Amino acid sequence: MRNAPIIRAWIAAVGCVGAFFSVSIAQQTPPAKPEAGARSVEDWIAQLGDESFPRRVEATEALIAMAEDASAALDAAMESEHPEIRMRARHIRVQALLEPLVGTVWKLTEGEGSTYTIEFLADGRLKDNSPNNTTFDNDRWRVESRADGPPVLVLEVNDAYATKTAPLTGTKVEGEAINVKAHSWKWSAELVESPEE
């Protein structure tokens, strides 16, 4: 079979994606956002487990568009016995958290009380005014899905010299930080400004 190497490579690529699922794997152009209000949240969640990939993508897009209104149902779906529904529900919850973070400014407190602000920029860039930051152009942020709890906010600063993680549960977060020398400390951050203000 001439296409066997291509198919094996595609399967391997899909397997590598794992928990960092991306809707755009099989399509160059993302599907148009469906009319989410025309169907019930429960119908869209059931469709997350459909045998048809395009129908799963359609349901994912619809639920991302209505994630705030569907939060309770998505939380329940993250406990589904169907692995595809669980994975997609986690993905939707993470996607719903990313967009609202962009443009927000947070007051970050570290260790013994050192404070400064951070701003979540588009494309996962992070702007901070920490006195210890020497490489302002390569600080990054992301939100990771967890099977056993809330999504986790990850901040990498000073060219990933230090990594800060915290469960993302609202407008105040508390977590742990560790640097490349294995020194660890506590940190917290609180929302102080959002683009709507």
Average pLDDT, the chain: 79
Residues 143 and 65 in one domain: no
Q: Residues of 35-50 as b/e, b for ≥16 C-beta within 10 angstroms? A: ebeeeebeebbbbbbe
99, 114, 139 - which closes a domain: 99
Residues 34 and 68 in one domain: yes
Residues 69 and 129 in one domain: no
Residues 34 and 90 in one domain: yes
Residues 139 and 88 in one domain: no
Residue of 78, 88, 81 lying closest to 47 (CA atoms): 88
Q: How many domains does the chain have?
A: 2
For residue 196, what pLDDT is reported? Answer: 65
Give helix 83-101 / helix 53-65 axis angle, nearest 10°.
40
Residues 13 and 68 in one domain: yes
Amino acid of residue 151 = P
Residues 10 and 47 in one domain: yes
Structure tokens belonging to residue 145:
């899905």
Provide mean pLDDT across the span 95-121: 87
99, 130, 161 - which closes a domain: 99
Provide mean pLDDT across the span 185-193: 94
Evaluate whether 126 touches 114 at the Cβ level (below 8 Å): no
Residues 159 and 188 in one domain: yes
pTM given for the model: 0.61
pLDDT in tens, 155-177: 999 888 999 999 988 889 999 99
99, 131, 154 - which closes a domain: 99
Flag whether pLDDT at 142 surpasses 60.
yes
Provide mean pLDDT across the span 172-184: 95
**CATH number of the CATH domain containing 128:** 2.40.128.80
Provide mean pLDDT across the span 141-159: 86
pLDDT in tens, 56-95: 999 999 998 887 788 889 889 988 999 999 989 988 887 7
24 vs 113, more confident: 113
Domain that holds residue 38: 4-99
Residues 71 and 117 in one domain: no
Residues 95 and 8 in one domain: yes
